[in-house]
Amino acid sequence: MDKFWLYLSIGASILSIGVALYLFFWVKKQPEGSPKAKEVASWIRDGSRTYLKRLYRTLILVVVILGFLIAIVFSFDLSKISTSQVAVVPINGLVMSVSFILGALCSAIAGYLGMSVAVEANVRTATAANESINKAFRLSFYAGSVMGLAMVGLAVFGMSMIFLITKDAESILGFSFGASTLALLAKAGGGIYTKTADIAADLVGKVEVGIPEDDPRNPAVVADNVGDNVGDVAGMGADIFDSYVAAVVAVMILGASSARLGLNYVVLPLIICSLGILASLIGIQFVRVGKNGKPGPALNRGTVITTISFAVMVSAFVLATSVNLGVIWATITGLGAGVIIGITSDYFTSDDRKPVFRTAEVSQSGAAINIITGFSYGLASIVPSVIGIAVATLLAYYLAEVNGLAGIYGIGISAVGMLSISGMIVSADAYGPIVDNARGIAEMSGMDHHVIETTDVLDAAGNTAKAITKGFSISAAALTVLALFAAYAEVVTASGLQVNMSLREPIVVVGILLGLMTPPLFSALTMLSVTENAFAMIEEIRRQFRERPGILAGTETPDYDACVDMAAKGSLSSLLWPALIAVGLPLLIGFVLGPNALGGFLGGSIFTGVIFALFMANGGGLWDNAKKYIEAGNFGGPGSDAHKASVVGDTVGDPFKDTAGPSLNTLITVMSLVASLFAPLIAAFHLF
């Protein structure tokens, strides 16, 4: 039975990859438009490719080093460590190492495909927007789907193949760790890149010299548009890929280790993912707008249909096979938690609700009051989301237990359930930066005003999708790491160690304390990189304006490459410390303070990781929309003192929502995977 299931999921994954490739070539066949538009697009394309090339070079270095380490470490068979007879089994090391490299590779291919199509689709969307909104919308959304479908397809394909060959869930940990390593570099690096360019472009362009957004006279304008691709397309895709794989592997391990379950339950998460792929393929069909249709509702329709068909398919599958009924409840619980958190994000970031309205209103008293108010609402926004996660955890657990399934397996399934519809979610999300770029190209290449208006409409829908995706990815990550945490405990127990993770154990509390400080530290490092790089880029922009007055007059082309290069180099060289923390700190804690302290450490990092991720995503979105609300003519409108104050809030929120916040998911996933992967070694060797 489980073999059949495996083939089924391999089939679904190949279908998904196939559709992605078909759409990829379809997008490339669409007309590119005027030579000027093509030129502008080529700047963005080249900038994005340069960054990606640099990123992958860094990645190869990291993967080679880590892959080598993994190959060595896993060549020792630690199961006999107690008898002091350590056997060397090189094939084990090789398998884990290859699995690790494959994970990074699959994620990289999905990211590369997604970004390649994005930098082709942006100019074509702008050109199509000249004709009609529904053509432009279809083009940009299908381009986004390339990433969404490639990602889920490659993930399921990779994991299924590894399991088919090794028949061992733990070897997929390597795959997951590879994907996470890439995600950490892509998400944090891309996040630093995009906000460096965005802040620098805005502060000098809009605030100092008073030229509009996307003005071609701004030397940082290309870097800003490149940033949308490297941060929001490639980075975000890698992030969800990471959670997606991690959730599956956690549940597979829990399925393998829990005595109550059979082998089918190891393969089950892959089946659920396959159903999610099919549901996404269905949902994508319904994302269309008519001539005067609205893109926002179209995207929502796609998500709703995907969710419903997915729930129906899972239920039908469970009822048709001998699978435990608890799986249905756990899946629905996960989807429900996603909805609650989506609604919360919406409440705290919509301009017809109190938080945004009040933040905009108090902007009349200056930037400081805007910041304090937005900050406070951001903190308050944690509450409903955390309650949502807590309720989902409890429900998934007890509904699974009631049906005779291990409760923790239920929590894992709810995470998998939530993430299964990633195909659709990522498609809607990747659409955002594509239309954002299309707007930039339209502006820079001097297209008609109605093109810019059309792309603005498309862009607004993209922002909402982005906010929902963030809530979704945070709650999915929260449930995923809870499952990973349980998987870690299972692996330690399997190593023959007594696991004690009570809050009454001082070593566990110490682990928790150290874990708690890690996400804030990581946020601080990434945000300081943004301000440091932005500070340098601001100087560069000012220098260009000062030394070449022709730029502002419009008679001279600015040196775009200088800013593109600065952002790329700055963001990648800033990754050293964050990456060391993510990989090194769990190992340090584990080998020095032992597996129980490491358990506490994982717990602590999950705690503040989730809290800060929620706060930063919602706070950032809130400030952004408070500014937009004022720009729409309220409280004095554009140019008023309230507007200036709200621009400060928006700029503060930028690295919150696009750099530090979203990287935290990846951080806690990477740390949990490192812990699980090295758990047998840590169980065997630790100081305390």
Closest CA to 669 of 525, 511, 488, 520: 488
Q: How far is the CB of 311 from a second copy (least distance, A)?
A: 23
Joined together, the tokens standing for residue 282 give 């269905």
Cα 492-497-498 angle, rounded to 5 deg: 105
Binding mask 465-484 for a second copy (x = CB under 8 A): -----------------x--
- Is the separation of the CB atoms in 40 and 226 below 8 Å? no
In the complex with a second copy, the residue whose CB is nearer, 44 or 371, is 371
- Is the separation of the CB atoms in 4 and 263 below 8 Å? no
Strand, helix or coil for residue 130:
helix
Part in contact with a second copy (CB under 8 A); list of ranges 13-21, 247-255, 390-398, 440-448: 390-398
Q: Which of residues 94, 109, 308, 380 is near a second copy by CB under 8 A?
A: 380
Number of residues that bind a second copy (CB under 8 A): 77
Angle between helices 264-285 and 133-166 (to 10 degrees): 170
Joined together, the tokens standing for residue 108 give 């990289």
Joined together, the tokens standing for residue 210 give 């008073």
Binding mask 405-434 for a second copy (x = CB under 8 A): --xx--x-----------------------
The most distant pair of C-alpha atoms in the chain lies apart, rounded to whole Å, by: 79
Strand, helix or coil for residue 560:
helix
Part in contact with a second copy (CB under 8 A); list of ranges 132-140, 176-184, 608-616, 628-636: 608-616
Is 93 a residue that touches a second copy (CB under 8 A)? no
Q: How far is the CB of 669 from a second copy (least distance, A)?
A: 17
C-alpha dihedral sign at 211, 216, 219, 220: positive
Beta bridge partners of 88: 76
Q: How far is the CB of 134 from a second copy (least distance, A)?
A: 38
Is 216 a residue that touches a second copy (CB under 8 A)? no
How far are the Cα atoms of 66, 131, 299, 321, 330 from residue 156, in angstroms, in the given order?
23, 38, 24, 21, 20
Closest CA to 619 of 357, 347, 375: 375
Query: What is the SS3 string spanning 456-485?
Result: HHHHHHHHHHHHHHHHHHHHHHHHHHHHHH
Is 538 a residue that touches a second copy (CB under 8 A)? yes
Return the residue matching tokens 């009822």: 319
Is 190 a residue that touches a second copy (CB under 8 A)? no
Amino acid at 633: G
Is 494 a residue that touches a second copy (CB under 8 A)? no
Q: Which of residues 102, 113, 332, 367 is near a second copy by CB under 8 A?
A: 367
Is 270 a residue that touches a second copy (CB under 8 A)? no
Q: Which of residues 15, 387, 552, 562 is near a second copy by CB under 8 A?
A: 387
Closest CA to 240 of 197, 307, 180: 180
Q: How far is the CB of 425 from a second copy (least distance, A)?
A: 24
- Is the separation of the CB atoms in 434 and 116 below 8 Å? no
Q: Which of residues 512, 585, 613, 683 is near a second copy by CB under 8 A?
A: 512
Q: Which of residues 14, 211, 386, 552 is near a second copy by CB under 8 A?
A: 386
Part in contact with a second copy (CB under 8 A); list of ranges 104-112, 242-250, 420-428, 485-493: 485-493
How far are the Cα atoms of 181, 309, 509, 606, 619 from residue 379, in angstroms, in the given order?
29, 35, 25, 17, 8
Q: How far is the CB of 562 from a second copy (least distance, A)?
A: 18
Q: Which of residues 196, 344, 373, 634 is near a second copy by CB under 8 A?
A: 373
Q: How far is the CB of 370 from a second copy (least distance, A)?
A: 9
Strand, helix or coil for residue 446:
coil
Binding mask 565-604 for a second copy (x = CB under 8 A): ----------------------------------xx--xx
In the complex with a second copy, the residue whose CB is nearer, 283 or 621, is 621
Is 343 a residue that touches a second copy (CB under 8 A)? no
Q: How far is the CB of 31 from a second copy (least distance, A)?
A: 40
